[in-house]
Amino acid sequence: MDWITTVDHKKIAILYLWAGGIFFGIGGLEAILIRIQLIKPMNTFLDAQTFNELITMHGTTMIFLGVMPVIFALMNAVIPLQIGARDVAFPFLNALGFWTFLFGGILLNLSWVMGGAPDAGWTAYTPLSSTGYSPTHGVDFYTIGLQIAGLGTLIGGINFLATIITMRAPGMSFMRMPMFAWTTFITSAIILFAFPAITVGLVLLTFDRILDANFFNVAGGGNPVLWQHIFWIFGHPEVYILILPAFGVISEVIPTFSRKRLFGYSSMVFATILIAFLGFMVWAHHMFTTGLGPVANALFSVSTMLIAVPTGIKIFNWLFTMWGGQVRFTTPNLFAAGFIPTFTMGGVTGVMLASAPADFQFHDTYFVVAHFHYVIVGGLVLGLFAGLHYWWPKMFGRMLSETLGKWTFWTFIIGFHLTFFVQHFLGLMGMQRRVFTYLPNQQFDLLNLVSTIGAMLMGVGMLIFLTNIFLTSRRPADAADDPWEDGRTLEWTIPSPPPEYNFKQTPLVRGLDAFWKEKMAGHKAMTPSEPVGSIHMPSATILPFLMSVGIFIAGLGFMFSRDEFSSSIMSFLFNNYIVTALGLLITFGSMLMRSLFDDPGWHIEPEELEGR
């Protein structure tokens, strides 16, 4: 119950981590099944339909339900602490964002047991995703599930923007803000401007499928390429929503374990902003082969390649930070160090793909698959591992085992390169993506076998990580405030795990890397910016949970509104939109409750603060 009603950002972080972890596991299983099917030519382990469902759900689950929530987990766990705040700007909305994400994710995965998963690829290209080619409810689960989950992301984005703008501790100007807070800020801005586009796209596709609208239906005057534009104007910024937080993590971990300040801090900030801006200008590089014409292709080609410039600045700044530092290869830093070359390789293949004429050759082959897994797994997932190992003691008060951590790193990264390095060559040799099998003796056999073995090894790495978590959770929570001893930012100045009010007294920030600055001046703690006083806290509430349940019910009701059921009661309830209305009633009713009964919150008094 405590967990269902919580509005504490640190607990919400743990909820995000759990939910994200579970979805990540599901996505991982799907990946293993895909790789088993491709282990040898003409395999009959899976049929074509199941294979399509698996690749669709794998991509969708991993991107929207796996890595996004883990990113949000880290942001929730760390951002208020890093900027010296007691909470986020809107704790209630924070909880709401989590629950809508979770119920959207559950809805999407219900498709496995309710008559067929989506099968049109994670990009849901029309007409493949129209009722003509995809007659089951699969794609409806996709459009409505993602719609609900996307709502949660948007809420989270606005919340972080407001939090970072207004809740920074005294003295923390924007140019003294830790890099992870910066990337969270920019990521949230991208979310704000990219997610509404996919919201519209999903609505249009839903209307086409459920209300027989004609947006993408050529026979009715619609245009399938319109879907691609809408999808990618969201989709390309989305990949920067994924990678920028990882950049942020790396920019925290490397300076800490090099005992040096981040090289070129202001150029890092500038590069982040530039990447976000350019990210919105390049969406059509996913559409070179749709026939946009040479002028459009050339423009999008060049603008895409421009992104390599700020990205390169970042890579060199990380290298210069390590250069001459007292580098310690703890587990987080191993992951960070592994990130740099791996991500760079993904960037290089990106520039190759950005060359429109070359892309005609690479498009829809395993070369593209290799590219985006190098950036998403070799970049983002390594970054998340670095961040999780780094902040675990702060989140849970327990140090993860370094030995197991190193085992995780080596099995995972070796498995990763085995899996995806060879896919570059499979792609160059012409193996198509999204096809459920291949003929023997095209020189695809051996490389596919290698790839599958690599995937298994990554799975082993994940299992070691889970073992590490399990063993750690049984040990006493005795991590020090600053367990890595070289912490530079504010989160390391308070106990691990932090008390629910975070800071007894809001700290005064006197420079970049505020804590490090105080340490160098010979102080053991931050100077407070206020006397100890009564702290106001928001009350726990069930309403965010209820609102999300309502939306979930409404979504299911709408999805089945055209179906005929064997029971006439069911038909009556669904076909007259009664279920939908009921769901919306729950949601709007909860909103009304929230509006009518103001939350006075509660106070933690100074005596209590001193007592602990």
Binding site for another protein (CB under 8 A): 89-90, 154, 158-159, 161-162, 165-166, 192-197, 199-201, 203-204, 207-208, 211-215, 217, 220-223, 226, 230, 233, 588, 592, 595-596, 598
- Measured CA to CA, the distance from residue 90 to residue 154 in angstroms comes to 13
State the residue number with the nearest CB to ligand HEM.
350
Q: Least distance to another protein from the beta carbon of 240, Å?
A: 16
- Measured CA to CA, the distance from residue 241 to residue 194 in angstroms comes to 9
Note whether 30 and 117 are within 8 A (CB).
Answer: no
Letters for 100-139 (x = contact with ligand HEM by CB under 6 A, - = none) are -----------------------x----------------
Q: Which stretch binds ligand HEM (CB under 6 A): 46-54, 171-179, 355-363, 498-506?
A: 355-363
What is the Cα 259 distance to its own chain's centre? 29
- Choosing from 236, 260, 394, 504, the residue that interacts with Cu ion (CB under 5 A) is 236
Q: Least distance to Cu ion from the beta carbon of 236, Å?
A: 4
- Choosing from 351, 449, 508, 593, the residue that interacts with ligand HEM (CB under 6 A) is 351
- Measured CA to CA, the distance from residue 168 to residue 489 in angstroms comes to 13
Q: Which stretch binds Cu ion (CB under 5 A): 124-132, 234-242, 454-462, 501-509?
A: 234-242
> In terms of CB distance, is 139 or 275 closer to Cu ion?
275
> In terms of CB distance, is 373 or 504 closer to ligand HEM?
373
What is the Cα 369 distance to its own chain's centre? 19
- Measured CA to CA, the distance from residue 105 to residue 554 in angstroms comes to 15
Q: Which stretch binds ligand HEM (CB under 6 A): 79-87, 371-379, 420-428, 518-526?
A: 371-379
Within residues 221-280, the interface with ligand HEM by CB under 6 A covers 239, 242-243
For 132, phi and psi rounded to 5 degrees?
Answer: -60, -45
> In terms of CB distance, is 520 or 592 closer to another protein?
592
- Choosing from 81, 376, 551, 553, the residue that interacts with ligand HEM (CB under 6 A) is 376
Q: Report CA torsion sign: 233, 234, 236, 240.
A: positive
> In terms of CB distance, is 154 or 514 closer to another protein?
154
> In terms of CB distance, is 246 or 254 closer to ligand HEM?
246
DSSP 212-257: ---SS-GGGT--HHHHHHHHHHHHHHHHHHHHHHHHHHHHHHHHHH
Q: Least distance to ligand HEM from the beta carbon of 101, Å?
A: 19
E strand or H helix at 604: strand 602-604
- Measured CA to CA, the distance from residue 230 to residue 286 in angstroms comes to 12
359, interface contact from another protein, Cu ion, ligand HEM, none, CB < 5-8 Å by kind: ligand HEM
Token duo for residue 420: 């995806």
Residue linked to tokens 């350019």: 278
Note whether 527 and 508 are within 8 A (CB).
Answer: yes
- Measured CA to CA, the distance from residue 313 to residue 275 in angstroms comes to 11
Note whether 489 and 513 are within 8 A (CB).
Answer: yes
> In terms of CB distance, is 45 or 277 closer to another protein?
277
For 535, phi and psi rounded to 5 degrees?
Answer: -110, 130
> In terms of CB distance, is 200 or 302 closer to another protein?
200
Amino acid found at 432: Q
Give the total of residues touching Cu ion (CB under 5 A). 1
List interacting residues with ligand HEM (CB under 6 A). 123, 239, 242-243, 285-286, 304, 307-308, 311, 347, 350-351, 353-354, 359, 362-363, 368, 371-372, 375-376, 379-380
Interface ranges with Cu ion (CB under 5 A)? 236
